[in-house]
Structure 1
Amino acid sequence: MTGERSWATLPNAITLLRLLLVVPIVVLLVEGEQPVLTVVLLVIFGASDWIDGTLARLLGQVSSFGKLFDPLADRVGVVAIVLAMIVAGLLPAWTAIAIPGVELVLLVVYAVARPARVPEASLLGKARTAVMMTGIAAVGFGILPGLGWLGDIGRWITAVGVVMHVVVGVDYFRLMVAGPRRPRPRP
């Protein structure tokens, strides 16, 4: 199956599962009462990002739906999980400015500049996502008894991911502003 024939594929189902996992992960992080379940869901969230894309390519099921919702699930999930980790005292507050701030700027630029297409994920963008997912998972593991040191490492990894997030955001900004535009609708 290629491209546009169907959105009902295994990779797209995994992407939707990742998006649906955000709510219980956020609730569990804020409540802080079930650390093992929290970590399991964080690992599933992070791993599903790699699994859905790999399966889509292997099964020939790359779709427009997946191209849109995979990065959307990543961004919504990472922003929500990072904010929940800040509320829970697991990450520093400055990450709440950097991560959603970049996403907000890109959303405004997209609306104003009206690029002909959304820039495709760059290699650095994919690396950023992997670093962020790894950092977030390590912070999650740090809530387990005896693994606080792993949370400390996770905070450093997440900080590197945040810097990468800003760099990737600047690159996407440049591509959207410099690229071809969609025509404005006439009233």
Structure 2
Amino acid sequence: MTSSNGPSAPVPVPSDRPAGAPVVLDREDLPDRVWTLPNALSVLRLLGVPVFLWLLLGPEEDGWALVILMVSGFTDWLDGKLARWLNQGSRLGALLDPAADRLYIVATLVALTLRDIVPLWVTALLVGRELVLGVMLLVLRAYGYPPLQVHYLGKAATLLLLYAFPVLLIADGTGWLARACEPFAWALTIWGTALYLLAGLLYVVQVAGIVRAERTVPASP
């Protein structure tokens, strides 16, 4: 997904990069700002993760957990808009935004799996994807590259999953509302999981292209 606090203007391509390598935007090229409104929203989302987990696994107050999850999804959209409208992109924002997304997804998956709402195979696929991307980050660093700007499919997948999880909680209840929400919950979950895996695959392909381009550059005398 494109970092919502990412750059709003083109960044020069380093002259020492191979001709075939993809353009990679470094967080270091962004302004070094901390006190911005988008960053405050990202920090608020991060602070909500432990509260969200406690509500799901402790008292099982699903209603309040739903509120936190929906607020998180809204602020995820809002901080990106504000970063562009107010020109408040920053290095910290480019780090906090995807970190909050991943923490919410992993935390929700763990909680819903422990409560037998989400099947284990869905959790294994999504957590496995995060582990593979972690390896890709190590490969990029080994070749002197920063993390790649994530594909827009990743952002779409994240939004689908963040909307799927509260609907899954509602579908786990009883009554007509639960029955009505169940097909929508699983549609969002399946599509979100598929797009999340596809976005991860595209990331791996990009990293493979960088590695291939680097290896074809003639060695300097």
Q: Into which bin does the TM-score normalised by the smaller protein fall?
A: 0.7 to 0.9
Match of 1:141 in 2: 170
Q: Does 1:155 align with 2:182?
A: no
AA matched with 1:107: G
Q: Does 1:123 align with 2:152?
A: yes
CA displacement at 1:106 relative to structure 2? 0.9
TM-score, normalised with respect to structure 1: 0.87
Rg comparison, structure with higher value: 2
Match of 2:90 in 1: 63
Equivalent residue in structure 1 for 2:73, among 43, 46, 49: 46
Q: Does 1:99 align with 2:129?
A: no
The structure 1 segments of at least 4 consecutive aligned residues displaced by more than 2 Å after TM superposition are: 112-115, 140-147
CA displacement at 1:95 relative to structure 2? 1.4
AA matched with 1:174: V
Q: Deviations over 1:77-121 (max 9, x none)?
A: 111111111111221111111111001011012213425121212
CA displacement at 1:22 relative to structure 2? 1.0
Unaligned 5+ residue runs, structure 1? 182-187
Aligned counterparts of 1:96 and 1:68: Cα–Cα separation in 2? 24
Deviates more, 1:31-40 or 1:95-104: 31-40
Match of 1:185 in 2: none
TM-score, normalised with respect to structure 2: 0.74
Verify the 8 A CA contact 1:35 1:144 in the aligned structure 2: no
CA displacement at 1:21 relative to structure 2? 0.9
* SS of alignment partner, residue 89 of structure 1: coil
AA matched with 2:103: V
* SS of alignment partner, residue 90 of structure 1: coil
AA matched with 1:173: V
Q: Does 1:9 align with 2:36?
A: yes
AA matched with 2:162: M
Aligned counterparts of 2:74 and 2:137: Cα–Cα separation in 1? 29
Q: For the aligned residues, what is the CA RMSD? A: 2.0
Instruction: Choose between structure 1 and 2 for higher RCO, CA contacts under 8 A separated by at least 6 residues.
Output: 2
Q: 1:141 and 1:48, CA in 2 relative to 1: closer, same or farther beyond 3 A?
A: farther
Seq. identity, %: 32
AA matched with 2:210: G
Match of 1:82 in 2: 109
* SS of alignment partner, residue 60 of structure 1: coil
Give the count of matched residue pairs.
180
Verify the 8 A CA contact 2:151 2:202 in the aligned structure 1: no
Aligned counterparts of 2:80 and 2:169: Cα–Cα separation in 1? 24
Match of 1:28 in 2: 55
Unaligned 5+ residue runs, structure 2? 1-6, 8-29, 215-221
Verify the 8 A CA contact 1:46 1:137 in the aligned structure 2: no
Deviates more, 1:140-149 or 1:35-44: 140-149
AA matched with 1:60: N
Verify the 8 A CA contact 1:140 1:151 in the aligned structure 2: no
AA matched with 2:125: A
